[in-house]
Amino acid sequence: MDYALPLERYDLYLLAGRLLAHHLARAGGVQARAFEVALAVQYFQELVPVVGSSEGIGLDAVAERICDGLYRKSDGRLPHGPKDEALVWPILNLDSEGVPLPLLPQSSAEGDFRWHKLCNGQRGIGCHAAAIHFWQDVEFLEGDRDLCPFRVYDGHTSLVIDQGRQKCGFDGNPCGWQPGLPKFLQVLGRGRQARLSRVAWTVPMWQALVPVGQALPVYPLLAALYFGAPQLAKGRATVTPEQFRRDFGLTEAIFAALFEADPEHPLNRRLLTHLDAPPAGEPLSPRFALPVLPTERDRGRPSGGRLVIDPDEKPAYQKSGVPGGSARDPLLAERRRRRQLERTARHDEVLTHFRRWFRLAGKEVREDADTFDFLAIDEQQVLLAEIKVLGQQDLAEAIQETVGQLLYYQRFALAPWREEGYPIAMAAVFERPPIGEFVTFLGALNIHTYWIGEDQHIDGPEESLALIRSMGVQVHADPELMRDA
C-alpha cells in the first residue's frame, strides 16, 4: 500500500533528516553525493543529450540548472543565504545528528564547485572516454573505473589520495574516477568548458551508488526531497512513492533496487506514524551549515594565542597567559614538554607555508604555545588546524594523536569562540599526503585534510580545498577546473 505524504510538513522534513542520517550511518556504503547528482540528472534527463547525439550540455548548466534546480527550496521556515537567495538543500547532505546542511547556489560568487566535482571529480560519476563504442559496452559502463585501461598515472600523486589528478589516455584531462564507481556521464572538453552526455543507466550502475541491502527508506526521502520544492510538487498537496517513481522516470526494477518502499520498514514506519500530528518535542529551528552569526557589533572577538602578522613570520610560540596555578601541574608541564618536542624545524616549516596563504588572503591568524598550532578567523567561521609531521613515525599513532588534540582544543581551548557563536572547522595538516584510508577516517570525523605540495601551495582532497577556497585562500590549482589559457 502506498501512503500519500503531505508536502508542506516542516516537522516531517526535520524528522526525515534524522532518519536518513541514521540510515547512512548504519548502511555505510551509500555514495550519497554521487547519488544526488545522478538523481538530479535522472529528473532532468531530457536536458542531457545521449552520447553521440550532440555535443552535450555544459558543465555549468548541469550544476546550476539541473543540480541546483532539483535541490533549491523556497519556504519561509528555511533560512536564506547572505544575499537573501534561496539555498540549495541536497537530501543526503546532513550533519551527524541529521540536521540538513544547505549550500549556496552555484551562481553565487561564494559558492564552491561541488556539483562540478561530483560530475567529474574524486567522487564524481563522469568519464572522459571519447570512443563511442565504449559507451555502447555495458561491461565498460558498469566497470570499476579504478581498473579502467585508459587511466594514466601522473607519476607523482599517490593513487589512493588524489584520484582526480590522474589523467585519461584519450584527451589528457583529469580522469575524475573513484574506485567502485561506474561511468554514468561522458565528459568531453577541458575544465568548466567540458560538456556532458548520458547513457541508459542499469540497475548494477545504480547499485554502485546504493549497494544491495542498503536501499534508502522512501518515505523519509520523499519528505526531504519534496518539502519546499514547488517545481517537484507541481501543484499537488501530497506525493506517493509511485508518483515519485513516475516523476523521475525510474523503471520498477531500478526503483526497487534503490528504495525501500515497505511501510513497515522501521524508518518508513517511524515517519508514517507522525502523519496525524507533529512529532513530540521536534525542534523547529535547527542548526544549519550557514548559521546567522551575531552582527560584528554584537559579537565579541576572543583573544588568546599570539597574533601572526607577517605572512612569512616564523612560529614563535609565546605563552598565552595560562593561569599560573595550572602551570605548576606536573601533567600540564609534561604535556607542554611533549608539545615543544613536536615542534621541530620541519613542523615549523609546514606551519609557515600553511598559514602564509591565510595571511596573504588577509585572514587573522593566531598560534598558541600550549595548545593549538594554527587558528584562522573568518567572519563566517574559525578554522582550527593541527600540524603533524609524519616523517618515519607510525601513521596510525600520528592520526590518533591528531584527532585527540583537535577534539580537545575544539572543546576547551576554543570555548570562548564557540560561546560567541563562531562555527569551528577542524583540519589536520601534513608535510605529505597520508594514505587514503586515513583521509576518509578524518573526513568522517569532520576533520579536513591538507598537505603542502612541492610548489609550497596548500593541497588536499577537493572537499577540504573547497572550504578554504571559500575563505579566499589560494590553494593548489585544480586541473579539473582550470580554463584553457
pLDDT tens track for 160-182: 555 556 677 776 776 766 667 89
Note the pLDDT of residue 156: 64
- Whether 407 shows a pLDDT value over 80: the answer reads yes
User: What pLDDT does 469 receive?
Assistant: 85
Q: What's the pLDDT score for residue 393?
A: 72
The answer on 310 and 216 residing in a single domain is: no
Length of the chain: 485
Q: 374 and 268, same structural domain?
A: no
Region 22-46 average pLDDT: 94
The pLDDT score that the predictor gives to residue 321 is 43
Q: Are residues 451 and 338 in the same domain?
A: yes
Give residue 136's pLDDT. 92
pLDDT at 34 over 60: yes
Same domain, 53 and 114: yes
Domain annotation covers residue 291: no
Residue 147 binned pLDDT confidence (cut-offs 50, 70, 90)? confident
Q: Indicate whether 262 belongs to any domain.
A: yes
User: Which pLDDT belongs to residue 326?
Assistant: 42
Range of the domain at 422: 306-469
HEC-encoded secondary structure of 295-336: CCCCCCCCCCCEEECCCCCCCCCCCCCCCHHHHCCHHHHHHH
d(CA 125, CA 113): 15
Q: Are residues 261 and 314 in the same domain?
A: no
Q: What is the pLDDT of residue 108?
A: 76
Asked if 363 contacts 377 with a C-beta cutoff of 8 angstroms, the reply is yes
What percent of the chain shows pLDDT beyond 70?
82
Cα-atom radius of gyration of the chain, to the nearest Å? 24
Residue 132 lies in a domain: yes
Per-residue pLDDT, 157: 61
- Rounded-to-integer distance, Cα 308 and Cα 363, Å: 10
Ranges 159-173, 313-327, 464-478: which has the least confidence: 313-327
Same domain flag for 100 and 196: yes
Question: Residue 23: pLDDT above 60?
Answer: yes
Q: Which of 272, 292, 315 is the last residue before a domain boundary? A: 272
Chain centroid to CA 381 = 16
Assign 322 a pLDDT band (cuts: 50, 70, 90). very low
Q: Has residue 480 been placed in a domain?
A: no
Determine the Cα–Cα distance for residues 257 and 250; give it in Å rounded to an integer.
11
3-state secondary structure 98-128: CCECCECCCCCCCCCCHHHHHHCCCCCCEEC
Return the higher-pLDDT residue of 137 and 299.
137
**Could you tell me if residue 293 is inside a domain?**
no
Higher pLDDT, 334 or 42: 42
Average predicted confidence (pLDDT) for the chain: 84
Q: Are residues 268 and 310 in the same domain?
A: no
Residue 285: pLDDT band (50, 70, 90) is very low
Instruction: Supply the pLDDT for residue 315.
Output: 83
pLDDT for res 119: 87
**Average pLDDT of span 200-206:** 97
Whether 263 and 324 map to the same domain: the answer is no
Q: For 427-461, write each residue's pLDDT tens digit.
A: 999 998 888 789 889 988 999 999 998 889 999 88
Same domain, 324 and 252: no
Are the CB atoms for 148 and 177 separated by under 8 Å? yes
**What is the average pLDDT across 238-256?**
98
Which pLDDT does position 333 carry in this prediction? 62
**Torsion angle of the four alpha carbons 169, 53, 35, 470, in this order, in degrees rounded to the nearest 10:** 70
Q: Are residues 319 and 266 in the same domain?
A: no
In this predicted structure, the answer to whether residue 36 has a pLDDT above a threshold of 70 is yes
Report the number of distinct structural domains present in the chain. Answer: 2
Residues 318 and 364 both lie in one domain: yes
Kindly tell me if the per-residue pLDDT of 471 is higher than 90.
no
**Mean local confidence (pLDDT), 207-234:** 96
Residue 367: closest CA among 314, 422, 425, 324: 314
Q: Residue 226 pLDDT more than 50?
A: yes
Are 20 and 98 a contacting pair, CB within 8 Å?
Answer: yes
Asked, for residue 285, whether it belongs to a domain, the answer is: no
Q: Is the pLDDT of residue 46 over 60?
A: yes
For the ranges 91-100, 183-192, 224-233, 451-460, the one whose mean pLDDT is highest: 224-233
Coil, strand, or helix at residue 152? strand
Identify whether residues 215 and 339 lie together within a single domain: no
Mean pLDDT for the stretch of residues 339-356 = 84
Q: Minimum mean pLDDT among 250-259, 289-298, 433-442: which range?
A: 289-298
What local confidence, expressed as pLDDT, does residue 212 receive? 95
Percent of the chain with pLDDT over 90: 48
Quickly state the pLDDT bin for 70 (edges 50, 70, 90): very high
Q: Is residue 90 part of a domain?
A: yes
pLDDT above 90 for 12: yes
Only one residue has cell 544526488, namely 36
Higher-pLDDT residue of 205 and 310 is 205
pLDDT at 305 over 80: no
pLDDT at 323: 39
Q: Does 155 reside within a domain?
A: yes
Position 43 pLDDT exceeds 80: yes
